[in-house]
Structure 1
Amino acid sequence: MPQLSAGSLAVFALSLTTVGANSVTFWTLDHNVRTLDANTTVTFPSEYSGNFYAVKQGASQEVGMLGEVMFNGWMGLTYFDQMWPAKSLVPVSGCQMFPCDNVYYKANDVQTKTTKEVHLVTTLGSGSTHREGI
């Protein structure tokens, strides 16, 4: 899968002329400035499959926590890591608060989840996700 920074991904996704209803809301939990503005929703084309990550301002462009998504995959489902569906809020892949049952300990840990929803939420930074809605 291609690997893009969240900033590059946002520019790419916003520059598309035909965009599907697929989207990821990046929810910032701290006050760090990153390559992606705080609380930004990015739309993706139909059948998009790829990875993303955000980098703190001034930091090197190294992959930290990597999110992964496949919209409109097998059986029309959305496959995802490090996120959750925006409407139903379940299932959750990865931790909202560390530690948790969905934590990744090794590179090959399988935490890929599926949903019929096409709007996902992922968090950036550390903090509480206790909030009604986004």
Structure 2
Amino acid sequence: MFSFRNIAAALALAATAQAQNTLTFVSTDNVDRTIYITPSEGVEGMDPVTVAAGATVAVNFATGFIGNAYAVQEGKENVPGMLAEVNFQGWGGSTYFDVSAIVNSADTDNVMLMYPAEAPSTPISGCNPFPCNNAYYLPDDVQTKVTEQTNIIVTLGGGNTNATAKRDVNTAANGKNMPRNLVELKY
């Protein structure tokens, strides 16, 4: 016998199964970059992705992916910098994300902002330009953002797009901040 509860649970599970987990990398300047993606232990890795100057590249991820991505400009040494951290279908089935400067806070020309692709497209993590009060600088900062959306925009470079030009990344209106452990790699 079916109940409304069973139907609702089945629909929620189907919606999660059909959700396309995506980081959409948007280049806002005239620099080609390679994106390196580091998954959590036990999660399948991915090959690097090239994002040409001014291009947009969508990268799809498995259900429950936890990891991060960083960008390296063409011709530069592969050194991790500003991180775009994400946890798809994390606690409560939500997507958790943040821009982290913990590894290399001097990397201020690659990963800049992260935010949900669809309206309403807040909360926002990161800065344009750096520094700002909307990114992780210390391990105990509380800056992780949460959304129900599964397509997260990651802007690259200090240029502006129509989407980022209208955003005030230094306001408290960018959503509730969550603890960093919701996006940390688990080794």
User: Which one-letter code corresponds to 2:141 in the other structure?
Assistant: D
Number of the residue aligned with 1:27: 26
8 A contact 1:29–1:128 mirrored in 2: yes
User: Which one-letter code corresponds to 2:124 in the other structure?
Assistant: V
- Residues 34-81 of structure 1: CA distance to partner in whole angstroms, max 9, x if unpaired? 112231000000000001111111101101111100000110000001
Number of the residue aligned with 1:86: 117
CA RMSD, 1 decimal: 2.0
Tell me if 1:71 matches 2:88.
yes
User: Which one-letter code corresponds to 1:119 in the other structure?
Assistant: N
Number of the residue aligned with 1:15: none
User: Which one-letter code corresponds to 1:122 in the other structure?
Assistant: V
Deviation of 1:108 (Å): 4.1
What secondary structure does 2:123 align onto? coil
Higher RCO (CA-CA < 8 Å; seq separation 6+): 1
Number of the residue aligned with 1:40: 57
Number of the residue aligned with 2:45: none
Deviation of 1:103 (Å): 4.0
Which contiguous aligned blocks of 4+ residues in structure 1 show a shift greater than 2 angstroms? 96-101, 103-110, 129-132
Deviates more, 1:91-100 or 1:62-71: 91-100
Number of the residue aligned with 2:127: 95
Q: Which blocks of at least 5 consecutive residues in structure 2 are unaligned?
A: 1-17, 35-49, 100-113, 165-187
8 A contact 1:94–1:111 mirrored in 2: no
| TM-score, normalised by the number of residues in structure 1 | 0.76
> What's the % identity of the aligned pairs?
46
8 A contact 1:102–1:111 mirrored in 2: yes
Number of the residue aligned with 2:152: 120
User: Which one-letter code corresponds to 2:81 in the other structure?
Assistant: G
Larger Rg: 2
The answer to which structure has the higher helix fraction is 2
Distance of 1:111 and 1:129 partners within structure 2: 23
What secondary structure does 1:54 align onto? strand
Distance of 1:131 and 1:48 partners within structure 2: 26
| TM-score, normalised by the number of residues in structure 2 | 0.55
User: Which one-letter code corresponds to 1:109 in the other structure?
Assistant: D
Distance of 2:95 and 2:135 partners within structure 1: 20
Count of aligned pairs between the two proteins: 114
